[in-house]
Structure 1
Amino acid sequence: MTVRIGVIGTGMIGRDHTRRIAQVLAGAEITALSDYSTDAARKVQQDLVPAARVHDSGEDLIAAADVDAVLVCSTGATHEPYVLAAIAAGKPCFCEKPLATTAEGALRIVQAEVAHGSRLVQVGFMRRYDAGYRMLKRVVDNDIGTPLMVHAAHRNPTVPDSYGTPMAIHDTLIHEIDVLRWLLDDDYVSAQVVFPRRSSHAHAGLRDPQVVLLETAKGVRIDVEVFVNCRYGYDIQCQIVGEEGLANLPEPMTITLRKQAHLQNEILMDWKDRFIDSYDVELADFIKAAAQGTAAGPSSWDGYVAAITSDACVQAQDSGQIVPITLPDRPALYR
């Protein structure tokens, strides 16, 4: 079966997912596009999928008879209504993060999916599909004993002036929030944020760097450095310390160069280059599940937990205190 997919939002990530499905992956075709800018949707249609229809609204696209599944790649504030519409239509839906802009909105999606009775939503936490993280997951599960501590870092060379302190949580740390839960098979119970000496490269509206301290239900202690003006490159680090050993996330594969009395490895500067392959794998997983009328991978529940946790981290930024994280019982659908 060829899954007929409609893409809502044809900006950078929507365009790239359209290219990926049209030119790289098997088992699906793009039959519909929608964007708040019709001109932007028509440009993607012209460049990548001439046979696709451009719809006036995301709701029209979801309702279309020639759309079996939906990709929501629009602005964050639109995610909740589009995902809810896809669930109501009984169509599998891939939603880029965030699942919703509030925890309450994410909970409404969870409740709608539970009422539907089966999974339909996959959230775009692509790190679970990264080859390095998958290697790390196998080692954590099998080789280093009970995890005790995690040391991680998320560094960007620079960010625009529009990037504010809470975005370090909602836009940056959000990936660690999800992938560390997955690596540890654990949930968070508290969050604290501390601010070291401020970088002179941080603009006036941004406190950078910061260190997020998380505690899990099993007692694992996690520290994540978020430093978005590090200058030297895009650098993702993760070390998990277990009772019997420790494991590090592998570095991206590069050539080691010996030249002019220096030993050198290239450092990536762009997050899209660091995780480009994982996008292929996550969408292939979505297509495979959508062909069966369901969803795989990170779930609505994962998106909801990430929203609760990120809200607690922002509260901790403001208060400087340890903020408890309380989750409701996980519905049976997500166990």
Structure 2
Amino acid sequence: MTQQGTLGIAVIGTGKMGADHVRRIDEVISGARVAAVVDIDETRAKAVADTAEGCRAFTDPAAAMDAPGVDAVLIASPGPAHEAALLSAFERDLPVLCEKPLTPDAASALRVLEAEQRLGHRRVQVGFMRRYDTEFMELKALLATGELGRPLMLHCRHRNASTHPYFTTEMLISDSVVHEMDQSRWLLEQEITTVTVLKPTPNSHAPEGLSDPQLVIFETSGGALVSVEMFATCGFGYQVQTEAVCERGTARVGDAHGMLVNRPGGWGGGIAPDFVARFAEAYDREVQAWVDATRRGEVEGPSAWDGYAAAAVCEAGLRAQKTGERTPVEMIERPAFYR
């Protein structure tokens, strides 16, 4: 560690998410500093590095990891680059917070699992930030008490105002519904065993070629059902909502019951414009928890197994999306290392 125990972090990727993490570590998080940033775009890397005192810019992740003062790695680069960065971090035995996806497919995620197990200790926390959102944490705690009985169903809604020009139908599953995959596994403490994807007539306001919205249905190892409405072009804002239907009651989060204002002819409140605004506190809490655990020499939070499981469910979801059929999830048995 550097600076009397301060954790020096190399942030790999300086796009929207990476740059926001640099700001977060520099301005919000305690016990850490940004020691290095990495991007293939050298100009962008230098511009982001200039926002954090003492930060150096690199174009090569390995060089950044070897830089003086780097104790840990935060990976916020595009998914296809994650495996190489993770394996480089393992070679140096550096702790990692890796934004989702762990890797883009189950085969590469399995290679990461095997490499981490060869180290003999966990090094990876995967960035499924909903686990750090106050409302979702409250729902998880309530379900754990058993007060409402066994969860029978989850009803989820995931809505975006609009999409990027490069957004594809497949990304509805791999970039968006992947959050409900992890969230459902975490809340229910069950694995997802099958995925079905149903497609209504596309929204007339969706970009040409984007089959939006979609209804995704999970079946789980414990017999629960999960429905996910994925609507990426709803036009009015960003919403993430979940209702748990249990044997003796229900519980719902995500309604954003903030300030309600009465005006002539109407009443209401605000809707978050995007995921950065909606989950800002969750991201803060997630990164702080990772920093605190790392400084204690521990690894907590979503594991590489959770990243692998999400990748396996994504693959089933993409097959279901193409065929319209109920599709089984193919994954290995959970290793004892991750129990």
TM-score w.r.t. length of structure 2: 0.96
| Residues 122-152 of structure 1 deviation map (CA, whole Å, 9 limit, x = unaligned) | 1111000000100111111122110111111
Specify which of 154, 166, 170 is matched with residue 174 of structure 2.
Answer: 170
Query: What is the Cα deviation at residue 203 of structure 1?
Result: 1.9
Specify which of 270, 274, 288 is matched with residue 270 of structure 1.
Answer: 274
Which position in structure 2 is the counterpart of 1:139?
A: 142
CA distance in 2, matches of 1:136, 1:245: 13
CA distance in 2, matches of 1:194, 1:235: 20
| Residues 155-198 of structure 1 deviation map (CA, whole Å, 9 limit, x = unaligned) | 11111332111100011101111011101111011011011122
Which position in structure 2 is the counterpart of 1:281?
A: 285
Which position in structure 1 is the counterpart of 2:69?
A: 66
Amino acid at match of 1:71: L
CA distance in 2, matches of 1:215, 1:167: 21
Which position in structure 2 is the counterpart of 1:230?
A: 234
CA distance in 2, matches of 1:107, 1:63: 26
With over 3 angstroms needed to count, the CA separation of the structure-2 counterparts of 1:107 and 1:312, relative to structure 1, is same
Tell whether the 8 Å contact from 2:41 to 2:59 is kept in structure 1 after alignment. no
Amino acid at match of 2:272: L
Amino acid at match of 2:333: D
What is the Cα-based RMSD across aligned positions, in Å?
1.2
Specify which of 48, 52, 57 is matched with residue 49 of structure 1.
Answer: 52
Which position in structure 2 is the counterpart of 1:24?
A: 28
Query: What is the Cα deviation at residue 96 of structure 1?
Result: 0.9
Which position in structure 1 is the counterpart of 2:328?
A: 324
Specify which of 7, 18, 26 is matched with residue 14 of structure 1.
Answer: 18
- SS of equivalent residue, structure 2 residue 169: coil
Query: What is the Cα deviation at residue 76 of structure 1?
Result: 1.4
CA distance in 2, matches of 1:108, 1:294: 22
Query: What is the Cα deviation at residue 276 of structure 1?
Result: 0.4
Specify which of 130, 133, 152 is matched with residue 130 of structure 1.
Answer: 133
Specify which of 57, 79, 90 is matched with residue 76 of structure 1.
Answer: 79
Worse overlay, 218-227 or 135-144: 135-144
CA distance in 2, matches of 1:276, 1:20: 10
Query: What is the Cα deviation at residue 7 of structure 1?
Result: 1.0
CA distance in 2, matches of 1:83, 1:282: 19
- SS of equivalent residue, structure 1 residue 123: strand
CA distance in 1, matches of 2:34, 2:164: 33
Query: What is the Cα deviation at residue 250 of structure 1?
Result: 4.1
CA distance in 2, matches of 1:12, 1:37: 14
Aligned length: 334
Tell whether the 8 Å contact from 1:92 to 1:293 is kept in structure 2 after alignment. no
Tell whether the 8 Å contact from 1:91 to 1:293 is kept in structure 2 after alignment. no
Tell whether the 8 Å contact from 1:118 to 1:294 is kept in structure 2 after alignment. no
CA distance in 2, matches of 1:72, 1:204: 32
Counting aligned pairs with the same residue, the percent is: 39
2:311 is the alignment partner of 1:307:
yes
With over 3 angstroms needed to count, the CA separation of the structure-2 counterparts of 1:232 and 1:56, relative to structure 1, is closer
Which position in structure 2 is the counterpart of 1:213?
A: 217
2:289 is the alignment partner of 1:296:
no
Amino acid at match of 2:225: R
- SS of equivalent residue, structure 2 residue 215: strand
Which position in structure 2 is the counterpart of 1:196?
A: 200
2:98 is the alignment partner of 1:95:
yes
CA distance in 2, matches of 1:318, 1:252: 34
Which position in structure 2 is the counterpart of 1:33?
A: 37
Which position in structure 1 is the counterpart of 2:121?
A: 118
For structure 1, the 5+ residue unaligned runs are none
CA distance in 2, matches of 1:43, 1:250: 36
Tell whether the 8 Å contact from 1:114 to 1:331 is kept in structure 2 after alignment. no
CA distance in 1, matches of 2:78, 2:246: 39
Query: What is the Cα deviation at residue 293 of structure 1?
Result: 3.4
CA distance in 2, matches of 1:253, 1:20: 25
For structure 2, the 5+ residue unaligned runs are none
Amino acid at match of 1:126: M
| Residues 23-61 of structure 1 deviation map (CA, whole Å, 9 limit, x = unaligned) | 111111111121101111111122x21312223410111
Query: What is the Cα deviation at residue 330 of structure 1?
Result: 1.0
Query: What is the Cα deviation at residue 239 of structure 1?
Result: 0.6
Specify which of 222, 236, 243 is matched with residue 239 of structure 1.
Answer: 243
Which position in structure 1 is the counterpart of 2:165?
A: 161
Query: What is the Cα deviation at residue 292 of structure 1?
Result: 3.0
Tell whether the 8 Å contact from 2:240 to 2:254 is kept in structure 1 after alignment. no
